[in-house]
Each structure stands twice: as structure tokens, then as C-alpha cells.
Amino acid sequence: MPDIKLVGIDLDGTLLVDHHEVSERNLAAIKEATVRGVTVAIATGRPHVSAQQFVQRLGIEDVPIISFNGAVVRKPGATESLLEVPVDSDLAVEIVQYCVERRYHIQYYLGDAMYVTRNSAWAQLYYSRTGQPPVPAGDIRRFNGESPIKILICVPSDTAQDVLDEGRERFGNELLVTRSMPEYIEFLSEDAGKGKALSWLARHLDIPMEQTMGMGDMLNDLQLVEMAGFGVAMPHAQELVKAAAQYVAESGPEGVGEAIEKFVLS
């Protein structure tokens, strides 16, 4: 095992239970790691403002947050990003039109705001999970010409794989198209991704990638688990994520604490 100096941890489905709570084992392991000089960073698909609500409890107030699936790296409380890779404006126009034609629920992220057509059940589900309030904007095509941080669509989980496959066939050569929750398909810059953001943060902190750990469960965590020096998957993770990991945790709610204890603290 390398001497781990930087740990990137996904939130939903990895660190958090029911999208809100951090288990005591996870919390204790993270705090002990930071005491020993290890940098622990959140690496989430959530917007920055949603992710930063956890940093005080975790004791990582000074560590940059990887948010928007790696499209943004920003310090907690800051207004300016250290790294930001938005979707090209012309591609954003194509994505929105593609989604409008298929009547998908669209969430369009500009800055710290999440714009939706209307305050639908999908928008309220996202709000209940993340605390990110939706901003009704009517026709999302009003933002044509802007470069959003990302575009997310919500579809029933039993159709999401087909929607993902179609989205990748249409945009996969130009964008990162991924799945972050059973119902969420996301379109991001091809330069985004949690693994690429972790690599950027490691360089920023002068830490070799071999001394990094990445933990996750969903397809949007695959790049994080693959690119980190040591990848950890949760027991309920998607099979591609498990296959890329060097270790699959035994515990779901406490998998983060388990992995840190086993590979960072011992």
C-alpha cells in the first residue's frame, strides 16, 4: 500500500446515509486521518453550495471541494473557483434542444443556481436530497448562448440506462455523459470528471497521484476510482465501479470508515 496523503470521497451513496447523515464510524475515521496529516476532500456531483454544508462537521473547512462531478473545484465559502470547466455554449444549446424534444425534466446549472422549467416533483426530489433550491425559469432555451457548469436530466430509473446509452451515442464523443443517481443522467464538459479533478487537486497540493484514494459507488464515480492511486467501491456500487476498485468495502453505511481504518490509519 502507498502512503495515502489525499482521499477523495463521494457523498451520496458513499459517505452519506439517506443523503444527509454521516455515520459515527465514517466521521471518526475522517477526523483521525486529518489529525495525521491526510487531506480529505469531498468529491460529489452536487453543486458546491450543497456540498459545503458538510465540511464543518467533517473538520475539512480549508480543503477545496470537488463539486459538479469534477467540473468545479472551490474552497468552502469562496465565490471564485480554483478550477471550472463548463459545457461549451454551442453544445449546451444542442443538449437542451435534444432534451426538450424528448420532454425530459432539465436542471440547468449556472453559477450556484439550478434552473428548471417548473417546480416539478423531480425538482422537489432533488431539493429534498441535496437542499439545492430549484429556480423556475420557464423555457430553458432562454439560456442559449450560456456555458452551464452541467446539465442534468431526470428520468424513471427503469429507463435511465437506455437514456444514458442514447445520450452517449449522441454526445459521447464531445462530452462526459454519466449517471449519478438511479434517476439522474448528466452532461458535462469532456474535461470534467471526479478523477480529473482529483488529479488537479493532487497537483495543486503537491501530492503524487499514487498517494491518493478515491471512493464511490455510481457510474459518475468510476473515473475517481480508476484514476486514484487506490480505488475503493461501496458494496452496493455498480459493477463497473467494483471492477475498477482495488478494494470493495464490506459495509455500506460505514464503508468509508472501514476503508480509511484499513488502508490509511493502520
CATH assignment at residue 108? 3.30.1240.10
Kindly state whether residues 120 and 147 are assigned to the same domain. yes
Instruction: Please answer whether residues 63 and 48 qualify as being in contact, where contact means their C-beta atoms are separated by less than 8 angstroms.
Output: no
Cell of 25: 464510524
Domain that holds residue 223: 6-84+192-265
Kindly state whether residues 204 and 179 are assigned to the same domain. no
Kindly state whether residues 119 and 169 are assigned to the same domain. yes
Kindly state whether residues 75 and 205 are assigned to the same domain. yes
| Assigned domain for 18 exists | yes
Strand order in the sheet with 65-67: 65-67, 72-74, 83-84
Q: What's the farthest any 2 CA atoms get from each other in the chain?
A: 54
- Compute the distance between CA of residue 168 and CA of residue 185 in angstroms, rounded to an integer: 10
Give me the pLDDT at residue 18, please. 81
Q: Which amino acid is at 101?
A: E
| Assigned domain for 15 exists | yes
- Domain boundary, last residue among 150, 165, 189: 189
| Assigned domain for 24 exists | yes
Give me the pLDDT at residue 107, please. 98
| Assigned domain for 259 exists | yes
Give me the pLDDT at residue 2, please. 81
Residue 77, pLDDT above cutoff 80: yes
Total number of domains constituting the chain: 2
Kindly state whether residues 112 and 180 are assigned to the same domain. yes
| Assigned domain for 1 exists | no
Average pLDDT estimate for 82-108: 98
Give me the pLDDT at residue 104, please. 97
pLDDT tens digits, one per residue of 27-47? 999 999 999 999 999 999 999
Kindly state whether residues 153 and 215 are assigned to the same domain. no
Residue 92, pLDDT above cutoff 80: yes
pLDDT tens digits, one per residue of 203-216? 999 999 999 999 99
| Assigned domain for 182 exists | yes
pTM here?
0.97
Cβ-proximal residues to 159 (8 Å cutoff; 6+ apart), any chain: none
Buried (b) or exposed (e) across 13-26, using 16+ Cβ within 10 A? Answer: bbbbeeeeebbebb
**Considering the chain, what percentage of its residues have pLDDT values greater than 70?**
100
Residue 163, pLDDT above cutoff 80: yes
Kindly state whether residues 58 and 99 are assigned to the same domain. no
Residue 166, pLDDT above cutoff 80: yes
Q: How confident is the model at residue 126 (pLDDT cuts 50, 70, 90)?
A: very high
Kindly state whether residues 28 and 150 are assigned to the same domain. no
Kindly state whether residues 196 and 184 are assigned to the same domain. no
| Assigned domain for 17 exists | yes
Cell of 225: 476510482
What are the angstrom distances between the C-alpha of 116 and each of 72, 101, 130, 139, 156?
A: 20, 16, 15, 8, 17
Give me the pLDDT at residue 19, please. 78
- Domain boundary, last residue among 167, 189, 211: 189
pLDDT tens digits, one per residue of 64-73? 999 999 999 9
> Residue 69 is part of a domain; what is its CATH number?
3.40.50.1000
pLDDT tens digits, one per residue of 100-113? 999 999 999 999 99
- Domain boundary, last residue among 189, 223, 249: 189
Cell of 33: 486521518
Instruction: Please answer whether residues 63 and 29 qualify as being in contact, where contact means their C-beta atoms are separated by less than 8 angstroms.
Output: no
Kindly state whether residues 63 and 42 are assigned to the same domain. yes
- Compute the distance between CA of residue 234 and CA of residue 213 in angstroms, rounded to an integer: 13
Residue 131, pLDDT above cutoff 90: yes
Give me the pLDDT at residue 35, please. 97
Kindly state whether residues 68 and 199 are assigned to the same domain. yes
- Compute the distance between CA of residue 236 and CA of residue 250 in angstroms, rounded to an integer: 9
Kindly state whether residues 168 and 218 are assigned to the same domain. no
Residue 1, pLDDT above cutoff 80: no
